[in-house]
């Protein structure tokens, strides 16, 4: 608990960019000068190997979710072993035998993955995680961090799920995981989990179809590899704006800034590090 409280004061987490392995290694080194980066690289390679061909509902390769979870853990200041668990946390959804993971990475990582999977699968029923149970669970700092990071990224991409599933996951997050994040001292994670859940349960008035189509058109000058990311970010932000005036102002601001932003993104050697 103390570790999470100490590390949860400030966050550089952003949701509009899929981090690369190099991004994650940079953040890990900032928190842990003597980190075993080779182990993280090995975990990434294993995750990429076993998740190859798997696609998320968003259409993104599944490895992007593993990278995002690992990046959130790195940003929390979690040690390299936990970051590795983030990369491998869904390995049980592949043909990879757990014995292979034990052989390559040790029993501790398998324990983290298994414990987080049991919570996710409801072996520990969410309704049983009362305030006292949440406090007990927070003693397993690494497991808590892994569960929170997984749910946080899933909420960021929840728009691709069925409405009933969105409602269920958002309600569960508010009832269970928001108190867990608060107990762990991860106030920035608690805040984002709460905001994303409330946005699902009490959405702002929908933007007009014309405004939505205009934002989609405005992404056309952006380089193709980054276009979908910017489109999803803009549509997501637009959906949170409560008034027509605010949505019009936002769209006008995008209209003015897109040409210059497109030129910057097309510069040779430019790398978008917004995460």
The residue ranges of every structural domain in the chain are 2-201, 209-265
The better pLDDT of the pair 95, 226 is held by: 95
Average pLDDT, stretch 260-275?
68
What stretches of the chain show up as alpha helix (H) in DSSP?
Answer: 2-7, 21-31, 37-50, 63-76, 80-88, 98-105, 107-121, 131-137, 141-156, 163-172, 178-183, 187-201, 209-218, 224-240, 244-265
Residue 247 has pLDDT above 70, yes or no: yes
Residues 90/46, Cβ–Cβ less than 8 Å: no
Lowest mean pLDDT among 160-169, 195-204, 227-236: 227-236
Q: Which residues pair with 61 in a beta bridge?
A: 55
Task: Report the distance separating Cα 33 and Cα 114, nearest Å.
Answer: 28
- Model confidence over 2-54: pLDDT tens digits? 445 444 434 444 455 678 999 999 999 999 998 989 999 999 999 999 999 99
Q: What is the pLDDT of residues 119-150, one digit of tens each?
A: 887 665 544 544 444 444 544 789 999 999 99
CATH of domain 2-201: 1.10.3210.10
pLDDT at 82: 96
- What's the average model confidence in pLDDT over 172-198? 90
């Amino acid at each position: 608990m103390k570790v999470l409280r100490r590390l949860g004061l400030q966050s550089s987490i952003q949701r509009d960019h899929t981090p690369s392995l190099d991004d994650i290694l940079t953040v890990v080194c900032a928190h842990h000068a003597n980190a075993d980066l080779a182990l993280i690289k090995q975990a990434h390679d294993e995750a990429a190997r076993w998740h190859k061909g798997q696609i998320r509902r968003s259409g993104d390769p599944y490895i992007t979710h593993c990278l995002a979870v690992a990046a959130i853990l790195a940003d929390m200041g979690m040690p390299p072993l936990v970051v590795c668990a983030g990369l491998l946390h869904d390995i049980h959804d592949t043909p990879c035998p757990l014995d292979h993971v034990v052989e390559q990475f040790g029993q501790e990582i398998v324990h983290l993955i298994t414990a987080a999977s049991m919570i996710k699968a409801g072996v520990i029923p969410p309704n049983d995680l009362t305030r006292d149970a949440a406090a007990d669970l927070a003693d397993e700092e690494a497991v808590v961090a892994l569960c929170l990071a997984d749910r946080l990224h899933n909420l960021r991409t929840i728009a691709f799920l069925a409405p009933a599933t969105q409602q269920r996951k958002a309600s569960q997050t508010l009832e269970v995981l928001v108190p867990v994040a608060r107990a762990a001292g991860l106030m920035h994670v608690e805040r984002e989990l709460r905001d994303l859940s409330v946005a699902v349960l009490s959405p702002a008035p929908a933007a007009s179809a014309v405004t939505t189509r205009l934002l989609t058109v405005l992404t056309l000058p952006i380089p193709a590899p980054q276009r979908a990311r910017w489109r999803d970010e803009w549509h997501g932000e637009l959906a949170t704006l409560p008034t027509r005036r605010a949505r019009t102002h936002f769209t006008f601001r995008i209209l003015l800034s897109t040409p210059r932003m497109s030129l910057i993104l097309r510069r040779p050697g430019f790398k978008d590090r917004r995460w």
